[in-house]
Amino acid sequence: MKITLSVIKADVGGFVGHSGSHPEILELAKKELEKARKRGLLIDYHVTACGDDLELIMTHKRGENNEKIHKLAWDTFVKATKLARKLKLYGGGQDLLKSTFSGNIKGMGPGVAEMEFEERPSEPVVVFMADKTEPGAWNYPLYKMFADPFNTPGLVIDPNMEKGFRFEVYDVKEHKRITFDAPEEIYDLLAFIGATGRYVIKRVFRRMDGEIAAVSSTERLSLLAGKYVGKDDPVLVVRAQHGFPAIGEITEPFAFP
């Protein structure tokens, strides 16, 4: 059965300052997603926060870029923004750059990371969230996870991984993309992803069968708004185990600042 995992986030207001998220905001979002689950739009969900960002983690069967899923997230953020302003939270609705939903939440401010895959009997997934940084913050950790055998021994000993992984890199300024195959093209890959403000690893695929392994959000708020409206707060989704890096191999890159 193919399942879609959607992680959509937005800064709708901080408590206190930009440091955290108000419990009433989280409760409102949970109620909205629970309504969606009961009417069959979602399979499951989890609501959490990273700093002052509201994070919606949702599973469903509707594929990536689905209008109903994106509208659910947008409407939830709009309602949360109204509550944030009522509570006088800091920077209410900061990430919502548009006033009306137009069919897809991309380009409207919130960050989006989605992947569709055939669910395994056990499907370990790790969701990383960051606050006050840039989308390219995941470049180095993703390289370590999927291209460095000293970090991920599975690249050498796992038959499903030994052919390497394919990295899809976005140029967020010119709106172009390029792919690199590891291990053959890791030098070229590193030449790009070192410029984290411009080049961002969007997706990683297993070369053996083209299976999706990881996806990140690549939205740059300042480029969308045409002015500085706050730092970017990226999210990252990584599949783990049995043909993908183990949990320890996924978390190990973050042991080095």
Higher pLDDT, residue 32 or 90: 32
Per-residue tokens: 71:
């509208």
Q: Which of 2, 38, 227, 228 is catalytic?
A: 228
Q: Is 24 helix (H, G, I), strand (E, B) or coil?
A: helix
The pair phi, psi for residue 92, each rounded to 5°, is -55, 125
Q: Is 140 a catalytic residue?
A: no
Residue that terminates a domain, selected from 70, 94, 115? 115
pLDDT at residue 99 above 90? no
Q: Say whether 53 is catalytic.
A: no
Do 128 and 110 fall into the same domain?
no
User: Are residues 76 and 154 part of one domain?
Assistant: no
pLDDT above 50 (res 229):
no
Do residues 136 and 102 both lie within one domain? no
Same domain for 111 and 203, yes or no, is: no
Which residue out of 52, 227, 231, 232 is catalytically annotated?
231
Same domain, 60 and 161: no
128 shares a domain with 69: no
Indicate whether this model's pTM tops 0.85. yes
Same domain, 83 and 130: no
Model pLDDT, residue 223: 52
Q: Which of 9, 11, 53, 143 is catalytic?
A: 11
The pLDDT value recorded for residue 236 is 97
User: Where in the sequence is the domain holding 152, given as residue range(s)?
Assistant: 123-255
User: For residue 39, what are the β-bridge partners?
Assistant: none
Kindly compute the dihedral angle of the four CA atoms of residues 143, 144, 147, 152, in this order, to the nearest 10 degrees. -150
pLDDT over 80 at 76, yes or no = yes
Beta bridge partners, 112, equal: 8
Q: Is 228 a catalytic residue?
A: yes
pLDDT grade for 56, boundaries at 50, 70 and 90: very high
| Ordered DSSP codes for 101-158 | --S--TTSSSEEEEEEEEPPSS--EEEEE-SSB-GGGGHHHHHHHHH-TTT-THHHH-
Tell whether 132 and 226 lie within a shared domain: yes
CATH code at position 42: 3.30.70
pLDDT in tens, 108-156: 888 999 999 999 999 999 999 998 888 899 999 999 999 999 999 999 9
- The domain total for the chain is 2
Domain end among 60, 87, 115: 115
- 13 burial class (0-12, 13-18, 19+ CB within 10 angstroms)? buried
**Angle between helix 67-86 and 23-38 (nearest 10):** 150
